[in-house]
């Protein structure tokens, strides 16, 4: 773990998890792997912090969990987006796009 | 959008519920899930070429703190509050079971404090707070409290009052003789207007209450029994309705028995008769009757509005009297909520006692806080270790608070048990005339109060030690955990401050009780103006068949006196209408020949008494001038009166009272000559002033009334009672002699209310003092332990026992001096609130304020004796060798 990495801004982890799950049901480790690879290993997400976030999202009803068999035939807990979760992902992604665009604009102008 | 919110909230609830109920299953799932993650990570790493055990270690490292992730996941599940509390409770219970002495000491101390407060609140709740046990009590008012209205006045009020939905009156409870069935008995009877029961929403258990027609003369020979009388005297006979009984020689039919839940008004009434409205009976209708008035106001009408209306009504009623009433008549009429009128008398006493008992709880809290400080000191090691392992300080505070709240709740449970047992004792000590005293019990509201109190108490005594301990453990976390000087010092200071607070609180209570005790002693020294020693008093009612015959009254009492004088041991006998300090009232007004009253002017209120010839000698009241009554002062002889010194001075300030003439207001030209002046006596209470009094001889009385026999006797009241009853029975076997009492007891009873306040306050002060002593003991004992090594060194260097005593005593005297100084300042401010309970003592009485520090000093000395003795016996060699 020597490569320079960025800490996540507060609250964005939820958004990233929702996005990772938007392609289909995944278990926790796969979500972690996915985020790590897709971000080109620039985001530093402590693996341990993933689970409280997953449980929080489950409690809010944005994702549901189900135990199933994994690819190597072990029992794993799969998370899946719910309808509300999908809607939430849309709203938050839009909000994020607006925010970053605005911030980028300001940085360019000033 | 809203439906989204709702769905989210529902999901949240469902999840939390599942998490709470299936706690173990979810905990397993979490373990499985995290293990799966780490295994996968390790598998990935070993595929990349790492050896299996290294791969696992790296996977764990990449994951971060496993426990922290678990804890955070639990938090995310939203149930950790309940779970953590349960966990803390388990730890707390385990810890407390290892230290039974600590557990017992804290729970017992808290039970004492909380129990006393629970019992006291039960009294306050039942007496002051609970609504009266009548229908819709908020609209009930008392009209002209403390002042009775004549029947003529009542009927005019009733006809004119528009604010009142209903206005009723009741007079009593007066003793009457029940004769005929079985032994004659004195009963407390009240006469009520016929609608009184409807007004209060009270129902009969058997039969009925009064009909409106039963106030008409001739139809009024009916009676309603209280439940207690029916169950007692009449053996709960359900055939009682319609049966005749004889009351004061008048036969009445029993028409009803009241419900056992009916709170009698006035409260000791055993039997009700209707108030007869007979305008032809002039004296009864306009003068003798004195109804207490109660009304139900129309909805929306305030007491103030009703009072304003009554101001107009009294102006219209005043001129209807046959002679001119003082202009001030009726001006003092007020309308007050009935609850207020019933309970207000008890409020100051109860407020005082609640204040005192709250201080006791505070002292108990401080004591327990001190114990807890001591205990957390022993756990410093554990706390420091947990801090080092990353437990958040807030988490530790929370655990310690959970423990102290557990102690508070245990103390509360024990306290409720204590209160349930002690409440009866408390009620027995309360003044017997406390309103609603029969209703006092522990109810739901009391339990809620106690639960709140227990939890608050837990926080109160737990917060300070918890914060202190955690601060200390943070500081010590990296050092050698345990006995570092800084922590011990801070702890000792905290514990010393607590003892100072305790002593200060105890000083306030002890000062208050000292003042009340001194007042009580002062009261014992008051000269009532007569000599109650060896005087016995007994009510001897008129025989019922002569109730309306004045001449036969005189014959009856004359022969009672003749018989009484022959009783062994009796050296003097007399009868009197009123026994001083006996609780009965007989006041009136008279016209003076020397100074006619101007129209509309008020006359001086006089204490009236009708007595027989030897009354003054039996009572030991000195005849100052003129002569006492003799048997020659009878009908046909010149009318005579005797006045007391106060009346002589008040009525004729510039002239000799002897030879002056007075007369009844309502009798024309029957002048009565003053032939004697006697010493003034106390009539109402020992603490009150002297009222001007007028005595009239029974031989010339114009109204047949029940008299009291007063005897000067060397025998004791018990023996004498039987002889008196026999002597009266010899005159008339149908006369029920009332209670036979020593006059000293009657005088003593006037101080009963003060006595209860004194007893309770002293008890609370004693408990506070005891707890304070325990606190001092604890601090001194700890100091000796702490300085054992030092003491050993001193002894080895040649110090003698007195040096060591001085050293140890110096430790406690500093605390006591501080506590006493603060306490006295507090007492100086607080005792001002006590003035209404004091008699002949100023709230800042220098003697009491001087004695209290001495009491505290003695307590401190007693509390320090044992640890000091231990200090003196220290073996220098042992002490120096030990760690210290």
**A98 occurs within a structural domain:** yes
Q: Across the interface, do A28 and B65 touch by the CB < 8 Å criterion? A: no
Q: Provide the ipTM.
A: 0.85
Task: Give the nearest partner residue to A29 out of B8, B12, B40, using CB atoms.
Answer: B40
If you ran DSSP here, which 8-state letter would residue B346 be given? Answer: G
Residues of chain B with pLDDT under 70: 1-5, 19-20, 77-83, 181, 389-391, 473-488, 544-548, 882-884
pLDDT value at position B354?
93
Strand, coil or helix: what is B253?
strand
Chain B residues close to A75, C-beta within 8 Å: 32, 36
Distances B64 to A30, A56, B173, B410 between C-alpha atoms, Å: 17, 19, 85, 41
Distances B83 to B74, B540, B544 between C-alpha atoms, Å: 9, 75, 78
pLDDT value at position A2?
41
**A102 occurs within a structural domain:** yes
Chain A residues close to B63, C-beta within 8 Å: 46-48
Distance CA A39, CA A44 (A): 9
**Residue B851 neighbours by CB distance under 10 Å:** 15
- Alpha-carbon torsion (B548, B554, B559, B562), positive or negative: positive
Task: Give the nearest partner residue to A52 out of B11, B29, B75, using CB atoms.
Answer: B75
Residue A100 exposed, middle or buried by CB count within 10 Å (0-12, 13-18, 19+): exposed
**A83 occurs within a structural domain:** yes
Predicted structure pTM score: 0.74
Strand B185-192 versus strand B271-274 pairing type: parallel
Residue B413 exposed, middle or buried by CB count within 10 Å (0-12, 13-18, 19+): middle
Strand, coil or helix: what is A2?
coil
Chain B residues close to A52, C-beta within 8 Å: 69, 72-73, 75-76
Distance CA A3, CA A8 (A): 16
**Residue B854 neighbours by CB distance under 10 Å:** 10
Beta-carbon contacts of B402 under 8 Å, excluding residues fewer than 6 positions away, are B85, B88, B89, B92
Q: Assess contact for B560 and B731: CB atoms under 8 A.
A: yes
- Note the pLDDT tens digit of each residue in B308-355: 999 999 999 999 988 788 888 889 999 999 988 888 888 988 999 999
Give the start-end residues of each E strand in B95-241: 140-143, 164-179, 185-192, 204-207, 222-225
Strand, coil or helix: what is B688?
coil
Cα dihedral B382, B388, B390, B392, rounded to 10, equals: 60
Minimum CA–CA partner of B58 in chain A: A1
Residue A10's pLDDT band, with cuts at 50, 70 and 90, is low
Distances B481 to B475, B524, B787 between C-alpha atoms, Å: 9, 63, 21
Chain A residues close to B79, C-beta within 8 Å: none
Q: Across the interface, do B7 and A58 touch by the CB < 8 Å criterion? A: no
Q: Does A84 touch chain B (CB under 8 A)?
A: yes
Q: Across the interface, do B29 and A29 touch by the CB < 8 Å criterion? A: no
If you ran DSSP here, which 8-state letter would residue B298 be given? Answer: P
Nearest-5° Cα angle at B223, B218 to B227 = 170
User: Which of B3, B29, B36, B45 to mutate to probe the A interface, most A CBs <10 Å?
Assistant: B36
| Short-list B649, B642, B650, CA closest to B626 | B642
pLDDT value at position B883?
53
Give B92 to chain A, closest Cα distance, Å. 28
Distances A28 to A12, A50, A80, B35 between C-alpha atoms, Å: 17, 7, 11, 11
**CATH number of the structural domain spanning residue A37:** 1.10.10.10
**Which two structure tokens, joined as six digits, stand for B173?**
């409870």
pLDDT value at position B11?
74
Distance CA A50, CA A65 (A): 14
**Which two structure tokens, joined as six digits, stand for B489?**
């010092």
* Alpha-carbon radius of gyration of chain A: 15
Phi first, then psi, for residue B448 (nearest 5°) are -60, -45
Task: Give the nearest partner residue to A47 out of B12, B36, B64, using CB atoms.
Answer: B64
* Number of domain units in chain A: 1
pLDDT value at position A8?
67
For residue A41, what are the domain limits?
6-109
Q: Assess contact for B662 and B719: CB atoms under 8 A.
A: no
| Short-list B578, B543, B525, B534, CA closest to B742 | B534
**A1 occurs within a structural domain:** no
Chain A residues close to B4, C-beta within 8 Å: 84, 87
Q: Across the interface, do B33 and A77 touch by the CB < 8 Å criterion? A: yes
Residue B526 exposed, middle or buried by CB count within 10 Å (0-12, 13-18, 19+): middle
Minimum CA–CA partner of B36 in chain A: A76
Longest dimension (CA), chain A: 55
User: Which of B7, B10, B11 to mutate to probe the A interface, most A CBs <10 Å?
Assistant: B11
pLDDT value at position B884?
41
Q: Across the interface, do A75 and B63 touch by the CB < 8 Å criterion? A: no
Q: Does A90 touch chain B (CB under 8 A)?
A: no
**Which two structure tokens, joined as six digits, stand for B347?**
């409020």
Strand, coil or helix: what is B85?
helix
| Short-list B409, B383, B370, CA closest to B496 | B370
């Amino acid at each position: 773990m020597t490569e320079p990495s960025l800490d996540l801004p507060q609250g964005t982890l939820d958004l990233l998890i929702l996005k990772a799950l938007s392609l289909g049901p995944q278990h926790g480790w796969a979500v972690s792997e996915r985020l790590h690879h897709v971000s080109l290993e620039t985001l530093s997400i402590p693996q341990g912090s993933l689970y409280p976030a997953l449980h929080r999202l489950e409690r809010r009803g944005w994702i549901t969990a189900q135990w199933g068999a994994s690819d190597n035939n072990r029992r794993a807990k799969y998370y899946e987006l719910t309808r509300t979760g999908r809607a939430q992902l849309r709203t938050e992604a839009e909000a994020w796009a607006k925010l970053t665009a605005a911030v980028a604009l300001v940085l360019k102008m000033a | 959008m809203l439906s989204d919110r709702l769905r989210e909230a529902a999901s949240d609830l469902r999840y939390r519920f599942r998490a709470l109920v299936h706690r173990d299953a979810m905990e397993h799932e979490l373990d499985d899930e995290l293990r799966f993650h780490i295994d996968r990570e390790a598998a990935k790493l070993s595929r990349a070429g790492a050896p299996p055990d290294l791969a696992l270690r790296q996977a764990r490292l990449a994951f971060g703190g496993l426990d922290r992730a678990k804890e955070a996941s639990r938090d995310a599940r939203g149930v950790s509050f309940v779970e953590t509390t349960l966990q803390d409770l388990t730890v707390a219970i385990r810890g407390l079971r290892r230290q039974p002495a600590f557990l017992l000491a804290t729970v017992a101390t808290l039970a004492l404090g909380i129990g006393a407060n629970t019992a006291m609140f039960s009294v306050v709740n039942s007496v002051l707070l609970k609504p009266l046990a009548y229908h819709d009590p908020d609209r009930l008012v008392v009209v002209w409290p403390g002042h009775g209205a004549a029947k003529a006045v009542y009927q005019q009020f009733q006809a004119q009052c528009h604010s009142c939905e209903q206005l009723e009156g009741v007079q009593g409870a007066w003793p009457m003789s029940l004769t005929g069935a079985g032994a004659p008995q004195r009963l407390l009877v009240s006469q009520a207007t016929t609608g009184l029961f409807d007004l209060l929403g009270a129902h009969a258990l058997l039969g009925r209450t009064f009909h409106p027609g039963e106030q008409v003369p001739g139809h009024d020979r009916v009676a309603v029994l209280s439940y207690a009388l029916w169950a007692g005297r009449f053996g709960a006979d359900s055939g009682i309705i319609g049966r005749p009984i004889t009351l004061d020689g008048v036969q009445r039919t029993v028409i009803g028995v009241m419900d056992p839940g009916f709170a009698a008004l006035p409260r000791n009434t055993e039997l009700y008769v209707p108030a007869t409205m007979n305008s032809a009976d002039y004296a009864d209708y306009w003068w003798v009757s004195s109804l207490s008035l109660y009304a139900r106001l129309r909805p929306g009408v305030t007491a103030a509005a009703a009072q304003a209306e009554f101001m107009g009504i009294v102006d219209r009623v005043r001129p209807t009297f046959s002679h001119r009433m003082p202009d001030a008549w009726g001006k003092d009429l007020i309308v007050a909520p009935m609850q207020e009128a019933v309970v207000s008398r008890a409020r100051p006493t109860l407020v005082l006692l609640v204040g005192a008992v709250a201080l006791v709880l505070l002292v108990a809290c401080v004591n327990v806080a001190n114990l807890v400080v001591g205990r957390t000191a022993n756990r410093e090691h554990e706390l420091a270790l947990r801090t080092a392992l990353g437990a958040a300080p807030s988490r530790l505070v929370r655990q310690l608070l959970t423990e102290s709240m557990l102690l508070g709740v245990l103390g509360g449970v024990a306290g409720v048990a204590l209160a349930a047992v002690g409440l009866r004792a408390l009620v027995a000590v309360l003044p017997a005339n406390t309103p609603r005293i029969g209703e006092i019990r522990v109810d739901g509201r009391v339990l809620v109060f106690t639960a709140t109190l227990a939890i608050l108490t837990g926080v109160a005594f737990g917060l300070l030690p918890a914060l202190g301990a955690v601060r200390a453990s943070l500081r010590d976390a990296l050092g050698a955990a345990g006995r570092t000087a800084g922590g011990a010092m801070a702890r000792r200071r905290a514990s010393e401050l607590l003892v100072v607070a305790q002593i200060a609180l105890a000083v306030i209570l002890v000062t208050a009780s000292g003042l009340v005790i001194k007042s009580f002693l002062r009261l014992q020294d008051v000269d009532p103006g007569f000599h109650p020693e060896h005087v016995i008093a007994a009510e001897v009612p008129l025989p019922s068949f002569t109730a309306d015959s004045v001449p036969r009254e005189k014959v009856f009492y004359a022969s009672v006196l003749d018989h009484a004088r022959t009783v062994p041991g009796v050296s003097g006998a007399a009868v009197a209408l009123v026994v001083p300090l006996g609780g009965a009232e007989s006041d009136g007004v008279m016209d003076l020949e020397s100074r006619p009253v101007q129209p509309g002017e008020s006359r001086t209120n006089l204490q009236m008494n009708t007595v027989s010839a030897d009354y003054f000698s039996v009572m030991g009241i000195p005849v100052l001038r003129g002569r006492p009554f003799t048997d020659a002062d009878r009908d046909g002889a010149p009318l005579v009166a005797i006045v007391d010194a106060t009346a002589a001075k008040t009525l004729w300030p510039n002239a000799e009272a002897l030879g002056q003439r007075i007369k009844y207001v309502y009798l024309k030209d029957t002048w009565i000559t003053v032939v004697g002046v006697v010493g003034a006596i106390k009539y109402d209470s020992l603490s009150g002033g002297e009222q001007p009094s007028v005595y009239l001889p029974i031989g010339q009385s114009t109204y047949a009334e029940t008299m009291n026999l007063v005897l000067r006797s060397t025998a004791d009241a018990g023996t004498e009672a039987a002889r008196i009853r026999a002597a009266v029975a010899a005159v008339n076997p149908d006369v029920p002699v009332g209670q036979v009492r020593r006059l000293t007891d009657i005088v003593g009873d006037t101080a009963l209310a003060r006595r209860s306040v004194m007893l309770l306050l002293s008890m609370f002060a004693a408990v506070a003092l005891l707890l304070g002593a325990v606190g001092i003991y604890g601090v001194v004992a700890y100091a000796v332990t702490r300085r054992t090594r030092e003491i050993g060194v001193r002894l080895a260097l040649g110090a003698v026992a007195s040096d060591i005593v001085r050293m140890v005593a110096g430790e406690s005297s500093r605390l006591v001096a501080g506590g006493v100084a603060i306490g006295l300042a507090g007492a100086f401010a607080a005792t001002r609130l006590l003035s209404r309970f004091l008699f002949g003592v100023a709230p800042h009485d220098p003697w009491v304020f001087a004695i209290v520090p001495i009491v505290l000093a003695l307590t401190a000395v007693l509390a320090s004796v044992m640890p000091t003795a231990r200090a003196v016996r220290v073996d220098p060699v042992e002490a120096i060798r030990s760690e210290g």
